[in-house]
Chains A and B, each alone.
Chain A
């Protein structure tokens, strides 16, 4: 069964610093991959998704992620953190067919002024 691992339950960066949130998937067949952001007391919002087209995917709010099959990874990056980026980030994967979306455990991003 598919599983998603997010390394680091909490990441703290300074404002203006690089943001790197890690995500690894388990399946031998590359799944479709998603990054969602959740602000406090809100629902999840899609940042970006990988659907087997370009391996470098650009999303909203200056975020991007690179799919690396050899590393089974889909890490999320942003060159310069902003205070408004502080939130919970979830990586998720789905395979073909009627299988549920599998979420990682989430990474809480804190941005320090």
Chain B
């Protein structure tokens, strides 16, 4: 298995809802990432997990809460989002810990989130 999977593919939620995004990889990668991508923009890094520990949090609002239950799974819990949080949320993984700068990142297809 050489891919990163993300569910759901699309998500529409209200500002008072609680929802979660899921990301999974079975490549044995030890670093996993969440990115937010707005239309016609590059991905913006949100969080990095290295060996299942949070290593980078790019000053993301607390309404986004990441979780890494095991080395294959990464979740992003969403609560009380704002309409401006609507975006494509991408998950990625890389083989070794996040300090290995020469490792490429493998991206999932993303979850298209719309906040009403």
Q: How many A-B residue pairs have CB under 8 A?
A: 61
- With beta carbons under 8 angstroms apart, the residue of A43, A94, A106 that contacts B41 is A106
Kindly state whether residue A41 has any CB partner on chain B within 8 Å. Answer: yes
A41-B112, A44-B107, A45-B107 known; A100-B48 Cβ under 8 A: yes
Residues of A near B42 (CB, < 8 A) are 90, 103-106
Residues of A near B99 (CB, < 8 A) are 97-98
CA distance A51 to B101 in the complex (A): 9
Q: Which of B60-115 contact A (CB under 8 A)?
A: 88, 90, 92, 98-99, 101-102, 104-110, 112
A41-B112, A44-B90, A105-B41 known; A99-B106 Cβ under 8 A: no
Contact A32 B102 (CB under 8 A): yes
Q: Which of A36-90 contact B (CB under 8 A)?
A: 36, 41-46, 49, 51-52, 90
Contact A42 B109 (CB under 8 A): yes
The secondary structure that dominates the A interface is loop
A100-B58, A104-B42 known; A46-B106 Cβ under 8 A: yes
Contact A96 B112 (CB under 8 A): no
Q: What bracket does the count of chain B residues touching chain A fall in?
A: 20 to 34
7 CB < 8 A contacts A-B: A32-B102, A41-B109, A43-B108, A44-B92, A52-B102, A98-B55, A98-B56
Residues of A within 8 A of B (CB): 31-32, 34, 36, 41-46, 49, 51-52, 90, 94-101, 103-106, 108
- Name the distance in Å between A12's Cβ and chain B's nearest Cβ: 16
Residues of B within 8 A of A (CB): 4, 6, 40-43, 45, 48, 50, 55-56, 58, 88, 90, 92, 98-99, 101-102, 104-110, 112
Contact A98 B98 (CB under 8 A): yes
Contact B105 A101 (CB under 8 A): yes
- With beta carbons under 8 angstroms apart, the residue of A31, A90, A103, A108 that contacts B101 is A31
